[in-house]
């Protein structure tokens, strides 16, 4: 009897254990399903975000060769599409339209390609101008503009000590590298595709730096500028834009 009771108790207990186990299994399974759904959602969100932000230009040896060997003369027939906004030789009249004269050709090529591919740099005005161009034509345009006379220094207020510190030393507290570390001591840019900033238009500079900060522009493969801009306040960006607008072309080497 006891034995039967014991068995039945045991059976009951066993039953409860089994039920509990089934419940746990169901819960675990449910949790697993939820977790995988969440994972899926986050993976797809991540993928979507990556898709939006990923650059499409990768500097393969072949692509570098195309840009290095571009023929600026062939761009003569193409610059007519650009001069209305960027000026005859890449120096614009508008503060919100970038100067592109004397710019690093790899940088310019990459921007044109990214406007063409839309997602890395989404600008309808520029997309319309480049959507039908071939890689060769964009490389020729980039070479042509890189050979023009750089924009002269603009008249700007005296830079603050804070601005000069950001340019020359950065800010260790915010883990900010000096701008000149990447953009050069005279804002002349650097290989492979770090742009020159000297003489750049102020409003354009501010808008694009803010776009990096808000991740509206994230076409830099390592997101270097997004990291930098993410740490900068509005007034710091304006101070830096004025500082660089006030720099003339790089003085000749001695």
Site membership for ligand HEC, residue 67 (CB under 6 A): no
Binding of ligand HEC by 208 (CB under 6 A): yes
The residues facing 176 across adjacent strands are: 171
Tell me: does residue 105 bind ligand HEC (CB under 6 A).
no
The yes or no reply on residue 102 touching ligand HEC (CB under 6 A) is no
Long-range CB contacts (< 8 A, 24+ apart) of 213-219? 213/237, 215/53, 216/122, 217/121, 218/53, 218/120, 219/53, 219/55, 219/57, 219/110, 219/111, 219/114, 219/120, 219/121
Which of 143, 209, 245, 247 is the binder for ligand HEC (CB under 6 A)? Answer: 209
Enclosing H/E stretch for 115: helix 105-116
Note whether 169 binds ligand HEC by CB under 6 A.
Answer: no
25/214 with CB nearer ligand HEC: 214
Find, among 198, 193, 207, 195, the residue nearest to 238 by Cα. 207
Does 143 participate in binding ligand HEC (rule CB under 6 A)? no
Which of these segments, 29-37, 39-47, 62-70, 117-125, binds ligand HEC (CB under 6 A)?
117-125
Tell me: does residue 129 bind ligand HEC (CB under 6 A).
Answer: yes
Neighbours of 13 (CB within 10 A): 11
Nearest approach in angstroms of CB 129 to ligand HEC is 4
Contacts 24+ apart (CB under 8 A), 19-26: none
CA 42 to the chain's CA centroid? 22
Residues that bind ligand HEC (CB under 6 A): 81-82, 84-86, 97-98, 100, 108, 110-112, 121, 123, 125-126, 129-130, 141, 166, 177, 179, 181-183, 193-195, 197, 200, 205, 207-209, 219-220, 224-225, 228, 240
């Amino acid at each position: 009897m006891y034995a039967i009771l014991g068995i039945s108790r045991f059976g009951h207990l066993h039953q409860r254990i089994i039920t509990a186990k089934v419940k746990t299994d169901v819960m675990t399974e449910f949790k697993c399903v939820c977790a995988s759904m969440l994972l899926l959602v986050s993976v797809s969100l991540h993928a979507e975000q990556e898709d939006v932000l990923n650059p499409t230009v990768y500097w393969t040896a072949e692509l570098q060769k195309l840009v290095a060997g571009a023929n600026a003369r062939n761009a003569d027939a193409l610059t007519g599409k650009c001069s209305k906004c960027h000026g005859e030789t890449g120096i614009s009249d508008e503060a919100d339209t970038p100067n592109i004269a004397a710019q690093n050709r790899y940088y310019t090529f990459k921007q044109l390609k990214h406007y063409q591919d839309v997602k890395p740099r989404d600008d309808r005005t520029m997309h319309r101008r480049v959507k039908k161009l071939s890689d060769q034509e964009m490389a020729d345009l980039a070479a042509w503009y890189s050979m023009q006379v750089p924009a002269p220094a603009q008249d700007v207020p005296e830079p603050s000590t804070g601005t000069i510190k950001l340019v020359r030393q950065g800010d260790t507290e915010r883990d900010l590298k000096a701008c000149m570390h990447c953009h050069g001591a005279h804002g002349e840019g650097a290989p492979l595709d770090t742009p020159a900033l000297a003489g750049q238009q102020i409003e354009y500079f501010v808008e694009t730096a803010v776009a990096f900060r808000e991740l509206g522009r994230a076409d830099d493969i390592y997101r270097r500028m997004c990291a930098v801009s993410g740490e900068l306040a509005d007034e710091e960006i304006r101070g830096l834009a004025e500082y660089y607008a006030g720099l003339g072309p790089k003085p000749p080497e001695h």
